[in-house]
Amino acid sequence: MPVSIDICDSCIKVIEGEQQGSKIKINKAFIKEIDKSYIHNGYIHNKIDLTLLLTDIVNEYGLKNKDCFISFNSTDTVYKEITLPKTKYSNLDKLIKNSIQELFGDAINLVMDYEVCNEIKEDDKIFYKILIYGVPLKIVEDYKNVISNCGLVPKSLDIKRNAIYKISNNSINGEDIKDDINLFIDITGNDMMLSLMSKKIVLYKRDVDISEDIKREEIFLQGNSQEVNKEDEYELLEEIAISDIKKDDDITFLDDQDHHQEEAIFISPILLRVYEEVHKITQFSMSLNNGDIQKIYLYGDREDLDEIADYISNNTNTSSEKIKEIANIKSNVDIDISKFFIAIGNLLRK
């Protein structure tokens, strides 16, 4: 069975499995934390130690000489959506290469690829919607070298958003979503990746560094501890001001008892940040002719994804839920689908 590895700055998520017709068979699934100095924004900064770590994983789990599919995310990846008339694939390839030349020039520092996402009909003519994307050459070469040196066989390097639309052809949480407009939110480590998708097209994408929000969250969670730096606590309370929670403009002077009651309704900075980003994307989606967001799906390695989903549902007009089930998966191990969502999607071949 091939191996799918989802690369993050703080961990790597590994699936051994394969696509069997319409089903996905999973044999092994595990997560390994990595030093944050190894990878940043998709770039490998410590190839030696990362190779040693992966070599240990390959030996420990018996993965040697297996085909390997890598998924990663980097803000330096470039995207462009184009529309071309439907034609034979041999002709289409030439048209796309000409389009790449026009859009990106020689692109000597990028590895270009494309995906035919769907067909549309306009004025009785059929067109292809095509996503063209370019990955920095350094990222491609470094991953190829590391994967080869650790005993695996590199077969593909793909961006994480491609895994989302591939797996969205399967029903998620019991619903068929492939023709809907849905927002996918990945919260893993210090990163939040938001992808507004419709019929395999990325309508909106945003990558957010939430490291400062996580620091504020830690202060928030330690609010009752005597060890908390009061200066940090006061700064936090100012940033998550009561004005964000109160619905009127009155200034209320609280006695001690009321003060504790008011503190109890303070909201985690992560919840506020997610809500802020969802609000931005909702406003964008409302400007589209396609329609509103049908549902928001959360996945990643946080343990409070259900809580975040509930907060979004309760404070917006859009239903939100953690990804817990993907149709047609057969697994030999217990697996948290939300944590391995990208790695599972990356198993699917075109």
- In this structure, are residues 2 and 67 in contact, taking their beta carbons and an 8 Å threshold? yes
DSSP secondary structure letter of residue 326: B
- Round to whole Å and give the CA distance between 139 and 133: 14
**Residue 35 is assigned to a structural domain of this protein:** no
Q: State the CATH number of the domain containing residue 122.
A: 3.30.1490
Asked whether residue 303 falls in the same domain as residue 198, the answer is yes
Q: Are strands 67-72 and 153-159 parallel, antiparallel or unpaired?
A: parallel
Query: 183: domain CATH number?
Result: 3.30.420.40
Domain of 289 in residue numbering reads as 175-323
Average pLDDT, stretch 255-267?
Answer: 53
Whether 241 is covered by a domain: the verdict is yes
- Do 184 and 314 lie in one domain? The reply is yes
Same domain (yes/no): 184, 270: yes
| Confidence (pTM) | 0.82
Of the pLDDT bands very low, low, confident and very high (cuts 50, 70, 90), residue 350 is low
Residues 6+ apart with CB under 8 A from 332: 26, 27, 28
Residue 26 has pLDDT above 60, yes or no: yes
Residue 184 lies in a domain: yes
pLDDT at site 244: 47
Same domain, 179 and 318: yes
Q: Say yes or no to pLDDT of 228 above 50.
A: no
Q: Do 130 and 180 belong to one domain?
A: no
Mean pLDDT (whole number) for 297-325: 95
Domain for residue 16, yes or no? Answer: no
β-strand 191-198 against 181-188: which pairing, if any? antiparallel
Q: Is residue 20 part of a domain?
A: no
* pLDDT of the residue at 225: 52
Write out the two tokens for 336.
């948290």
> Is it the case that residue 123 has pLDDT exceeding 50?
yes
Asked whether residue 215 falls in the same domain as residue 290, the answer is yes
Assigned domain for 147 exists: no
Same domain flag for 210 and 123: no
Specify which of 14-23, 137-146, 245-254, 256-265 reaches the highest per-range mean pLDDT: 137-146
Number of domains in the chain: 2
In a domain, 27, yes or no: no
Which two tokens mark 261? Answer: 């009651």
The arithmetic mean of pLDDT across residues 188-203, rounded, is 86
